[in-house]
């Protein structure tokens, strides 16, 4: 886990190395100053040697300036290194997420990924900065102060050693107890973020059903869970400060009492006592800093594990060693295909699918909810891998192709239409970033989108709000179809992508496809039989199997499910689920 995170330091190795160096230099200067102060008092003030005071004072000023410079430089390089690590962690996670297959993405919730990219990375950033600065400074300061204290007086310095051992043991016990609560806290952020995300995404439904109070209560519950866990952790950590103060003041009183006796007996000078008191503060404050580092490390350990999970997750789908970069045509073949979303699933989603589709053919696919229509077409562009059998595109197994090449030639308009914030042209050019304005307009004409775009004041420069909230469902679907057409694919898959379009426009779109892209293989998933009845062949899916395949006329005479759905829809509004018997 630690190696995984440190690999992301990359170009920020230099400031990561310089920060401990500057911290140690600052500690050395701070350690020298009390020693020089003792010399000024014992050999300058008490001896009345003003020259010695000036000389040693000049050295003290130089040491203070060097320590100030080292502290400032260490703060700057530490901030640069920690911010750089955070940047690289976010970049690394986001880049790896982009390579995930759908099955990888299914392992992590959206809220969990957002928490990892934000809160967890911030925890690591703060912990890394504290490790570079305080975790270097504190032990170095403690060691130097302890050495100097023992060099002055072993008996008095032993008080520090005993205090450090006792206090360190107590702090370790407190840290261990608090850590388990911090490990429970950060996963709770996922629940809270999920509540926020769900509420904002469905805000229209929330308001339509007047569920604002229930959503507020849900958020309060998630927030209260975090509060309770952090409260338990902090209740353990509150003992840090009083213990430290008790130890510091106890050591000062003990050293002052014993030191005064030793001064009277001439076994200790006044300057040495002052130095010992200063070193006492250095040692115990170093211990306090180390306890703060342990707190931050305890808090960030859970975050480090969660980030490491994303960075080390490998996509289930990988390019072959020698990928094929040319897809000859849009022919598709399924040979004894089985598929399950989970490898240990008892029942596969698709079972023994055998299907041959010629290039340029138009195929309709209908079936009830859960009949695996979408699962079937997802295998064509290799969004998932089959668990049995093989899928061929252009005469080759899809696993032989370079995935980018395959997906560029297989355009999919998904059930859930997604538009991104930006102009209409910017959204269309997701299909082809080099497409001209004329090509974009032509694609929109094929998708019957040009007619409503021309009615907008800014036409193709109209700004689309996030998620396409300022266009209707039907307009969004037509823009997504146009975007797919710009890829000039050999295979076009419409996954229930005209459900929000009126039947007349749906017919116009299908007619345009037939006339303008006859060589493109078209797969149309639909609930309305009118959307697929003109297809070359229609596939009826039932419980992950092909129940029937043929033309509209053939299925009407031979397939009971198809016939019942057709009769229900022509009589008035029945859909596949209501009459096909497939749920």
Q: What is the largest CA-CA distance in the chain?
A: 120
* For residue 402, pLDDT beyond 80: yes
Q: What is the mean pLDDT of residues 493-506?
A: 77
Give exposure, 319-357, as e/b (b: 16+ Cβ within 10 Å).
eeeeebeebebbbbbbbebebbeeeeeeebbbbebebeb
Residue 108 makes CB contacts below 8 A (sequence gap 6+) with 310
* For residue 113, pLDDT beyond 90: no
* For residue 177, pLDDT beyond 90: no
More confident residue, 172 or 93: 93
The mean-pLDDT minimum among 93-97, 191-195, 262-266, 439-443 falls in: 191-195
CA-only gyration radius of the chain, Å:
35
* For residue 77, pLDDT beyond 90: yes
The one-character DSSP state at 412 is E
The mean-pLDDT minimum among 12-26, 100-114, 257-271, 317-331 falls in: 100-114
Q: Give the model confidence (pLDDT) of 118-161 as tens digits.
A: 888 988 998 898 888 888 888 888 888 888 888 888 888 888 78
Q: Which pLDDT belongs to residue 203?
A: 79
Q: Among all chains, which residue has been given the structure tokens 């045509």?
A: 329
Q: Which pLDDT belongs to residue 500?
A: 67
Delineate the domains of the chain, giving CATH numbers in brackets. Answer: 2-312 (1.20.1560.10), 332-579 (3.40.50.300)
Q: Which pLDDT belongs to residue 22?
A: 92
Q: Give the model confidence (pLDDT) of 13-41 as tens digits.
A: 999 999 999 989 988 888 888 778 878 87
* For residue 358, pLDDT beyond 80: yes
* For residue 519, pLDDT beyond 80: yes
Q: Which pLDDT belongs to residue 65?
A: 92
* For residue 574, pLDDT beyond 70: no
With bands split at pLDDT 50, 70 and 90, how would you rate the model's confidence at 576?
Answer: low
Contact status, residue 363 vs residue 535, Cβ threshold 8 Å: yes
Q: What is the mean pLDDT of residues 54-66?
A: 89
Q: What are the beta bridge partners of residue 332? A: 357, 393
Q: Which pLDDT belongs to residue 346?
A: 76
More confident residue, 304 or 103: 304
* For residue 419, pLDDT beyond 50: yes
When mean pLDDT is compared over 290-299, 363-372, 467-476, 502-511, the highest value belongs to 363-372
Contact status, residue 102 vs residue 384, Cβ threshold 8 Å: yes
* For residue 47, pLDDT beyond 80: no
Q: Give the model confidence (pLDDT) of 427-463 as tens digits.
A: 888 888 888 888 888 888 888 888 889 988 888 888 8
Q: Which pLDDT belongs to residue 575?
A: 55
With bands split at pLDDT 50, 70 and 90, how would you rate the model's confidence at 582?
Answer: very low
* For residue 573, pLDDT beyond 60: no
Dihedral over alpha carbons 178, 183, 184, 186 (to 10 degrees): 120
Q: What is the mean pLDDT of the chain?
A: 83
Q: Which pLDDT belongs to residue 89?
A: 92
* For residue 580, pLDDT beyond 60: no
Q: What is the mean pLDDT of residues 252-278?
A: 82
* DSSP H helical ranges for 100-153: 102-105, 110-115, 121-152
* For residue 49, pLDDT beyond 90: no
**Cβ-count burial of 58 within 10 angstroms (0-12 exposed, 13-18 middle, 19+ buried)?**
exposed
Alpha-carbon gap, residue 504 to 76, rounded angstroms: 66
Q: What is the mean pLDDT of residues 80-87?
A: 92
Q: Give the model confidence (pLDDT) of 387-400 as tens digits.
A: 889 999 988 898 98
Alpha-carbon gap, residue 85 to 24, rounded angstroms: 22
Q: Among all chains, which residue has been given the structure tokens 């000036």?
A: 54
Contact status, residue 101 vs residue 317, Cβ threshold 8 Å: yes
First to last CA, the chain: 45
CA 534, 538, 542: angle at the middle one, nearest 5? Answer: 145
Q: Which pLDDT belongs to residue 577?
A: 55
Q: Which pLDDT belongs to residue 123?
A: 86
SS3 category, 413? strand
Q: Among all chains, which residue has been given the structure tokens 């694609």?
A: 443
């Amino acid at each position: 886990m630690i190696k995984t995170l440190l690999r992301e330091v990359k170009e920020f190795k230099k400031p990561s190395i310089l920060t401990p160096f500057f911290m140690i230099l600052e500690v050395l200067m701070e350690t020298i100053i009390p020693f020089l102060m003792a010399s000024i008092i014992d050999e300058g003030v008490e001896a009345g040697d003003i020259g010695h005071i000036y000389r040693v004072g000049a050295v003290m000023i130089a040491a203070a300036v060097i320590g100030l410079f080292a502290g400032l430089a260490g703060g700057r390089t530490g901030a640069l290194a920690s911010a750089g690590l955070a940047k690289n962690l976010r970049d690394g996670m986001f880049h790896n997420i982009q390579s995930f297959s759908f099955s990888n993405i299914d392992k992590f919730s959206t809220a969990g990924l957002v928490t990892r990219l934000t809160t967890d990375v911030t925890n690591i950033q703060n912990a890394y900065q504290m490790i570079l600065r305080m975790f270097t400074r504190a032990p170095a300061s403690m060691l130097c102060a302890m050495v100097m204290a023992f060099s002055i007086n072993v008996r008095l310095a032993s008080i520090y050693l005993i205090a450090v051992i006792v206090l360190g043991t107590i702090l370790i016990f407190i840290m261990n107890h608090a850590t388990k609560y911090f490990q429970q806290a950060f996963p709770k952020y996922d629940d809270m973020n999920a509540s926020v995300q769900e509420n904002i995404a469905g805000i229209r439904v929330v308001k339509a059903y007047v569920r604002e109070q229930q959503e507020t209560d849900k958020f309060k519950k998630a927030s209260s869970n975090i509060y309770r866990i952090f409260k338990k952790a902090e209740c353990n950590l509150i003992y840090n400060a009083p213990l430290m103060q008790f130890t510091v003041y106890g050591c000062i009183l003990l050293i002052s009492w014993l030191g005064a006796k030793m001064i009277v007996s001439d076994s200790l000078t006044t300057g040495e006592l002052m130095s010992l008191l200063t070193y006492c503060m250095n040692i115990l404050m170093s211990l306090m800093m180390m306890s703060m580092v342990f707190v931050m490390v305890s808090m960030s350990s859970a975050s480090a594990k969660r980030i490491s999970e994303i960075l080390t997750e490998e996509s289930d789908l990988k390019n072959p060693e020698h990928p094929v970069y040319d897809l000859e045509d849009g022919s598709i073949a399924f040979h004894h295909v089985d598929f399950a979303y989970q490898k240990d699933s008892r029942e596969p989603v698709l079972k023994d699918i055998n299907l041959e589709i010629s290039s340029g053919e138009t195929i309709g696919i209908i079936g009830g909810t859960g009949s695996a229509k979408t699962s079937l077409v997802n295998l064509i562009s290799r969004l998932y891998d089959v668990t049995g059998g093989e899928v061929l595109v252009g005469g080759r197994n899809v696993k032989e192709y370079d995935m980018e090449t395959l997906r560029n030639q297989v355009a999919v308009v998904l059930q859930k239409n997604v538009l991104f914030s930006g102009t209409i042209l910017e959204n269309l050019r997701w299909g082809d970033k080099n497409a001209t304005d004329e090509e974009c307009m032509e694609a929109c004409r094929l998708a019957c989108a040009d007619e409503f775009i021309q009615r907008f004041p800014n036409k193709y420069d109209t700004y689309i709000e996030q998620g396409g909230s300022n266009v209707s469902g039907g307009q969004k679907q037509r823009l997504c179809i146009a975007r797919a057409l710009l890829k000039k694919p050999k295979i076009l898959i419409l996954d229930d992508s005209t459900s929000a379009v009126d039947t007349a426009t749906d017919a116009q779109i299908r007619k345009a496809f037939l006339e303008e892209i006859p060589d493109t293989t078209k797969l149309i998933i639909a609930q309305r039989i009118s959307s697929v009845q003109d297809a070359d062949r229609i596939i009826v899916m039932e419980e992950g199997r092909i129940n029937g395949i043929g033309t509209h006329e053939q299925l009407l005479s031979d397939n009971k499910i198809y016939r019942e759905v057709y009769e229900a829809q022509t009589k008035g509004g029945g859909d596949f689920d209501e009459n096909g018997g497939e749920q």
